[in-house]
Each structure stands twice: as C-alpha cells, then as structure tokens.
Amino acid sequence: MLLCLRIENFALIDQLELEFGVGLNVLTGETGAGKSIILDAIDAVLGGKVSSRVIRTGTNRALVEATFSFTPPLAAWLSEQEIDLIDDNSVVISREITITTSNIRSRSRVNGVLVNRQMMGGLRDRLVEITAQGQTVQVGQSAQVRDWLDLYGGDSLMQQRQKVAIAFSAYQQAHLALEKRRTSERERLQQLDLLTYQVQELGTANLSEPQELEQLLQERERLNHVVDLQQMSYKVYQALYQNDNETPAAADLLGDSETTLNDMVEYDAQLQPLLDLVRDAQTTLMEVGRQINAYGEELEADPQRLEEVEERIRELKQICRKYGPTLTEAIAYYQRIQGELAELNDGEQSIESLEHQEQTCLQQLTQLSYQLTQLRRKSASHLESRLVAELKPLAMDKVKFQVEIVPSSPTVAGADKITFMFSPNPGEPLQPLIAIASGGEMSRFLLALKACFSQTEAAETMVFDEIDVGVSGRVAQAIAEKLHQLGQLHQVLCVTHQPLVAAMADRHFRVDKQTINKGSNGNTEQRTVVRVTALDNLTTRREELAQLAGGKSANEAIAFAESLLLQAANHRQMKGEV
C-alpha cells in the first residue's frame, strides 16, 4: 500500500507531501487542476518514462519519493536484490531526475540503494497497477489481451506458458542451426573443394624440409659454376701446396721458415713456441691443399641433376607464391588445412540430422502449445462469465462478451491470437471490443476487468485515472460502488470528476492550482503551483461535492452533496463496514 508520496519540482508541483490511506482514495478538482500530475509522479517513481518537461521551470532537478507498506511479495523482492530494510513497516522508493545542457538523467533508489530500470519494472508489478482510458489501445493488442487472460488463468496456466517458452527457445535454436547449415552448405562445399585441391597440391609437392629451397639454390649455383670451381680450386692448390711455376708455394715458404727457426732454437730455446706454430701452420696448410685438390678432382658437370634442381626450385617457388611467402609458412599452412578439411568432412552435423532435430522440437512445441490453448479456453470461459457478471451492476446487463481464440504461428507465448469480442446491445453480433465500444462502455469494461483480477492482482495499490469519464447518473453510481468494492481488497487511488464516486471515498483530496509570488527585494514573479488539500471533515467534503455537482456552493448543490454522503454511508452500512 502507498503510504506517503513526496514530490519536489515535478511539473507544476514545487513541494507536496501526501499521506494516503486504506480503501478508496479519491482526487478531485477542476479540469487542469493537476490531478493527473500526481499520478504521473507515481508512474515516474516506479520507473515510468519521463522527459525534460517533468522538471519544474526554473529548476534542473525533480524528486519523487514514495513510501510503501512492507508486504511479503515486497520482502521477497528485496531479498532477491539483496537490499536491506530500513525498518520493518515500510520501503522507500525514490527517483531523482536532473537535466543538463545536453541530456536528462535519472536515478532510482530503493531504501537508498541504486537500482536499474529493469529491476524497477519487476518491483512495479508488485506495488501498483494503473488503469486509464488510455488503455483502450492495449485492449486492441492481442499480446496484451493474451497476457491478461493468462494472468487470470492463474499459476497452472502461467507454468504451462513457461514450458511453451522453453520449448519455443529450443525450437528456435534448432531452426536457426538448420538454416545456418543450409545457408552455409554452398560455402562449405566450395571451401571443401578448395581445401581438397590445396591439400592434394601441397601433398604432391612432398614438403618436409623448411630449408630445402635455400639448399637447392646453393646446389644450383655449384652446378652452374663447375668449371670455374675446378679452375679456382686448382689455383688455390698451387698457391698453397705445389706450384707448377718457378714461384714457390706457401708450403715451401713455410718449410724454409721452419728450417731457419729450427737453427735459431739451437741458440735460443725461447723461440721453440714460434717453431711449433710454424710447424702446425704447415701441417694445416698441407691438409687444406690436399682437400682442395680432392674437391677439384671430384667436381664434374651434371646437366641432368641441374635440370632436376631447376625444376624443383620452380615448383617450390610456385608453392611459396601461393601459400607462403616462405617455405616454412607454406608447410605450416599445409598442416593447418589438413585439420580444417577433416572438420569439414567429419565435424558438421548432416542436414538430415538437423532437420530431424528441428521437427522433434516443433512437435514438442506444438503439443505444449495445444495444452496451453486448452487451458486458455478454460480460463476464457471463466473470464467470460465473471466479466459479464461484473458488467451487469454497471448498467450493462444485456452485454455479451467472448474471448476469441484462433490459431496463429507458434511464438514464445504459444500459438493463439486472442481478441476480446463484445456486443453491448441485444441482437447485435459480437465484434472486436476496440472497434465498437464507446468511451463510457470502455470505462466500465476496464473497471469490470480489474474487478475480475482483484483476487489475482499481485499489486497492493490500484490506480484509476478518470475511469468514469463519459458516464453519469445510475452508471456513475454503479462505478462508485464497484470502486469502493475494490477498495475492500486493495488500496484504490482514483482521479474523478464524478461527485457520486467522490462521495464513496474513504479518503478525499482536493487538487487545485494557485498563483503565488516568488522572489524578494522587489524582484518578485508570479508562479503557478499545484496544491492538494485533504478533506478530513464533513463540511469540506460537502462543499467539494457541491462544487463537482453544481459548480458553486448553492443550497441545492449542498443538499445534493449531503444526500450523496448519506447514500455512501448507507452503502457502507449495508456492506457491513464499521
């Protein structure tokens, strides 16, 4: 139950604090007095959409704070969100709205803890249900009508709907997997052909040694320069070991040096290490000479091998251009696509398997949707009887009402399209409610619908914004009694222009606009503000009812107001109220 509402700088409200009570709370006042602003503030604090227009002119910050009584559903929500209690009797919800030069920002808090919009949506359903003539659009929406019917059906129906939602998700996943498989099949086959060709080409190339190309390039250079290498190796051999010319070879020169050093050592033993170095150098030089000579003798031209090397080099360079740029990278690519080819051949589910999976999920969804439809038909039958019974006291005793359920494509909420069908007059066929109901008929229908839900509504507070527009006389009295009846099960907040409705209130508030002077030191300006007065005594209530009935406090209007209050008191007494 909404205990207190505090508003700052919201639309035309500068400062306002209201304390609501149990039963039927009524807000009255002239058209445009600001009654709906209060309901807009309730909507805003519970996460409703807001714009910069809600912030009072001349300020950049608005605040709405609502205090609700503590209830078990609210306790469960707080526990889920790990939000601590301030006390054992109430929960405080606030929303601060600020405007900057570029945008608008808002912050919502529950017991001082910041919460996001999604969390506020879950909390709102536990606290307040707002009904207005603007819901006419919702009455024409199959999804909204379906949600109402399912809610009326209770836990068993909602549980079945949850099963359908799970089945629909499974079907959707299976369907998407199949479509993805079908869509990618052409690409898969193209990729399969490409990789098959590449694996065959790289396999035929017999790639194993990353340095093969460099080695072949070196071998080609050797084969192309055999004669030059022979000549140069012989020239080196002569220079080092045995020269055919008169010029002595390096080995001969080292031999002479060894002989001289050997003679010197006989006179100075300190030269022995130098002699040893010369002898070692001579040995090394002679070994080099023998090896270079053997190398030159072994060299011979091999045109066939040269052709083989040239062909292999061309093959490897072509491989590198396509899969490289280096042979090492080409080999790594070959190893990788072998794995990819195996996955394309073996890793994918067949289309037939996915088609079977999709069909199985569709059958499961169809079966569960059919069971949901049956539960909805049962719920619809009960709602039809109940709603007609609720409409009869509202001067609609000849009305016919039917919940039309026709098959539709499966969705997360089942396979039903649901429409409220309505006939207010005998002999007239049933037609969609949205198409034929007048404003007054729609008002009464919405009120009766909420009365049907009064036993199943989770929200403790029900708000009605001018639900009685377009009716008068006996119908207005019936609406007043219905609102009062709802007030015995829920806290009801109602904006009304009907004195018959206002007279039934357990708590009555008058809303009006006032012009005040703001500023000081001679710089004053006039500002319009909304003020709310609690009509706690019989005199003030009688005068307000007289204003609603006759527009002025004339004797006749006062008398009529007194009769309304007496009639309301008698109604309460008949219902056994204290």
Claim to verify: residue 211 and residue 338 sit in the same structural domain: yes
Q: Answer yes or no: are the C-beta atoms of 146 and 418 closer than 8 Å.
A: yes
Degrees, nearest 5: CA angle 100-104-107: 110
Tens-level pLDDT at each residue, the chain (578 residues): 899 999 999 988 989 999 999 989 999 988 888 888 898 899 899 988 888 888 988 889 999 999 998 888 788 888 888 888 877 788 999 999 998 877 889 999 999 899 988 888 888 878 888 876 555 566 777 888 898 899 889 889 999 999 999 999 999 999 998 888 787 777 777 888 888 898 888 888 888 888 888 888 887 888 888 888 888 888 887 788 776 667 788 888 888 888 888 888 888 889 899 988 988 888 888 888 888 888 887 877 788 888 888 888 888 888 899 888 888 898 888 888 888 888 777 645 578 888 899 999 999 999 999 999 999 999 999 999 999 988 888 878 888 999 999 999 999 999 999 999 999 888 889 998 888 877 778 878 888 888 887 766 556 788 888 877 766 778 888 888 888 888 888 889 998 888 888 888 899 999 998 888 776 665 677 888 899 999 988 888 888 888 887 755 567 677 777 777 887 777 777 766 54
DSSP code, position 348 = S
Q: CB within 8 A of 561, min separation 6: which ones? A: 499, 503, 541, 542, 543, 544, 545, 546, 549
Instruction: Please write down the long-range contacts of 90-95, taking CB distance under 8 Å and 24 or more positions apart.
Output: 90/3, 91/67, 92/65, 92/66, 92/67, 93/45, 93/46, 93/65, 93/66, 93/67, 93/68, 93/123, 94/45, 94/63, 94/64, 94/65, 94/66, 95/44, 95/45, 95/47, 95/63, 95/64, 95/65
C-alpha 217/C-alpha 306 separation (Å) is: 11
- Out of 312, 346, 380, a domain closes at 346
| Pair 161, 414: CB distance under 8 Å | yes
Is residue 258 one of the residues assigned to a domain?
yes
| Cβ neighbourhood burial of 487 (10 Å; 0-12, 13-18, 19+) | buried
Residue 540 lies in a domain: yes
Peptide bond between residue 273 and the one before it cis (omega within 30 degrees of 0): no
Helices (H), 205-249: 212-224, 226-240
**Are 331 and 209 found together in one domain?**
yes
Asked if residue 425 is part of any domain, the answer here is no
Partners of 2 in the β-ladder = 68
Could you write out the DSSP letters of every residue in 72-139? HHHHHHHHHTT---S-SSEEEEEEEEEE-SS-EEEEEEETTEEE-HHHHHHHHHHHEEEEEGGGHHHH
Residue 127 domain flag: no
Q: Residue 170: inside a domain, yes or no?
A: no
* Domain interval for residue 308: 205-346
360 occurs within a structural domain: no
Residue 100 shares a structural domain with residue 226: no
User: What's the length of the chain?
Assistant: 578
Which of 327, 346, 365 is at the close of a domain?
346
Looking at 324, 346, 368, the residue that finishes a domain is 346
Q: Could you tell me the two tokens for 284? A: 């090394």
Task: Find the angle CA(355)-CA(358)-CA(359) to the nearest 5 degrees.
Answer: 85
Surface-to-core class of residue 430, CB atoms within 10 Å of its CB (0-12 exposed, 13-18 middle, 19+ buried): middle
Q: What is the chain's Cα-based Rg?
A: 48
| Sign of torsion over alpha carbons 244, 246, 249, 252 | positive
The CA distance from 143 to 193, in Å, is 49
Instruction: Kindly state whether residue 523 falls inside one of the protein's structural domains.
Output: yes
Domain of 501: which CATH number? 3.40.50.300
Q: Alpha-carbon distance 490 to 507, whole Å?
A: 14
The per-residue DSSP string of 19-39 comes to E--SSEEEEE-STTSSHHHHH
Q: Are 215 and 86 in a shared domain?
A: no
Q: Say yes or no: 90 and 217 in one domain.
A: no
Based on the fold, state whether residues 96 and 213 are members of the same structural domain: no
Please indicate, yes or no, whether residues 109 and 211 belong to a single structural domain of this protein: no
Residue 235 sits in the same domain as residue 334:
yes
CB atoms within 10 A of CB 13: 22
How many domains are there within the chain? Answer: 2
Contact 369/387 with Cβ under 8 angstroms?
A: no
Q: Residue ranges of the alpha helices (H) in 428-472?
A: 433-436, 439-452
Question: Within a domain: residue 11?
Answer: yes
Asked if residue 209 and residue 88 are part of one domain, the reply reads no
E strands present in 279-336: none
Token pair, residue 121, equals: 């949506």
Determine the Cα–Cα distance for residues 113 and 510; give it in Å rounded to an integer.
34
